[in-house]
Amino acid sequence: MSKNVLVLAEVRSGNLRNVSLEALSAAKQVANGGKVIAALFGSDMDSFVTPLAHYGADQIYLIRNKQLDIYTTDAYTQAFTQVIQEVKPDAIFLGHTAIGKDLAPRVAARLQLGLISDCTGLEVNGDEVIFTRPIYAGKAFQKKKISAGTIFATIRPNNIPIGDPNPNGIASTVSFEAEIKDIRTVVKEVVRKASESIDLSEAKIIVSGGRGVKSADGFKSLYELAEVLGAAVGASRGACDAGYCDYSLQIGQTGKVVTPDLYIACGISGAIQHLAGMSNSKIIVAINKDPEAPIFQVADFGIVGDLFEVVPLLTEQFKKVLV
Ligand code: FAD
């Protein structure tokens, strides 16, 4: 049976987030001929209508409101809940981003819906949708089958392939007035860290440093390698605790969960709490001078050596082929 599927389209730094396109791709599979509806929040979002249409949205709800220009829990919870009540979708998808993680459980609670969070895959089998999600900090995967009721899920970035855009895709638009009141927080300014120029959770390549990097200065060679590869830089908690880098770079159980195509771990031992954040990366390369380091157990390629020698050599070689 076909379904109408609603997707929250997230915009960050003037761009549609990749995970929203991944959510659209998931929505198309589940819709099975039904309508894929995207919701765009903010006063100046019209330029995103065409790209959303190219990536599969049939209809786009524009919730034009200045109070939605910057995310606040109160405003978005009210607006998104009202959109859902209006659209009455059979399924709702959000990215498993900072916003998705904050918003989805609140909206689910308000509407008394179940929520499947952090999905890494899905299959459609007739009327059933079977979601895959990691459990036990990524050590195992759980399958959740939904065959009745409204489906509500958040999608982990970098897991569901984005289909090719259709340059002829068109979508109708609906202007929707949301009633927003009693906002308890005021965001005066959003200051992005320079390190967030490539978003870690959506990065295709991550060069990550641990306590073995030894100092903030030691991270310079990681940034150089990252620049040549077009990668983001991440870190273990060991490196963050030691003050070598900012906590916003921390990957792991209490940091960010990432699934890049390539994860290069430099001077990271591979503690279970770190693996919880990166072990589902598609290819893992570990550079460590200790051949017994646990990171080698999850690595696809291991380099036993001093990172201060290996990383500059890699940068030099990649420069020859990539720059
Ligand atoms: P270390 O374990 O000290 O490893 C450093 C590695 O560098 C060693 O393997 C060493 O052989 C290697 N090395 C040293 N010098 C060189 C060199 N010159 N060249 C190459 N290799 C070298 N950790 C996280 O990362 N993320 C989390 O989210 C997280 N959450 C946690 C939550 C809880 C509740 C707890 C208790 C812990 C958490 N931790 C987390 C901490 C985790 O247990 C480890 O302490 C931490 O991951 C270790 O960081 P590290 O691998 O950088 O340091």
Q: What is the largest CA-CA distance in the chain?
A: 60
Q: Which residues line ligand 1 (CB under 6 A)?
A: 210-212, 236-239, 250, 252-255, 267-269, 271, 273-274, 277, 287-290, 293, 306-308
Q: Which tens digits make up the pLDDT trace of 13-43?
A: 889 999 999 999 999 999 999 999 999 999 9
Both tokens of 312, joined, read 């500059």
Beta pairing partners, 175: 62
Most informative mutation of 207, 268, 295 for ligand 1 (most atoms within 8 A of CB): 268
Predicted complex ipTM: 0.99
Cα–Cα distance, 126 to 249 (Å, whole number): 41
- Please report the pLDDT score of residue 194 as a whole number: 56
Distance (angstroms) between ligand 1 centre and the Cα of 156 equals 24
pLDDT reported for residue 277:
93
Note the pLDDT tens digit of each residue in 285-296. Answer: 999 999 999 999
Strand partners, 209: 235, 266
Give dist(CA 213, CA 5) in Å, integer: 46
> Helices marked H in the chain — which ranges?
18-31, 49-54, 73-87, 98-111, 219-229, 237-241, 272-278, 295-298, 307-322
Task: Evaluate whether 92 touches 121 at the Cβ level (below 8 Å).
Answer: no
| pLDDT tens string 207-262 | 999 999 999 999 999 999 999 999 999 999 999 999 999 999 999 999 999 999 99
- Tell me the pLDDT tens digit for each residue of 76-125: 999 999 999 999 999 999 999 999 999 999 999 999 999 999 999 999 99
The DSSP secondary structure of 193-219, one letter per residue, reads -GGGGS-GGG-SEEEEE-GGG-STTTH
Rounded CA Rg of the chain: 21
> Which runs of consecutive H residues, i.e. helices, occur in 128-218?
none
Residue 49 backbone dihedrals phi, psi, to 5 degrees:
-65, -50
**Cβ within 8 Å of residue 151, ≥6 positions away:** 3, 30, 90, 91, 92, 116, 129
For residue 185, pLDDT beyond 60: yes
Q: Residue 199's pLDDT is what?
A: 83
pLDDT at position 8: 98
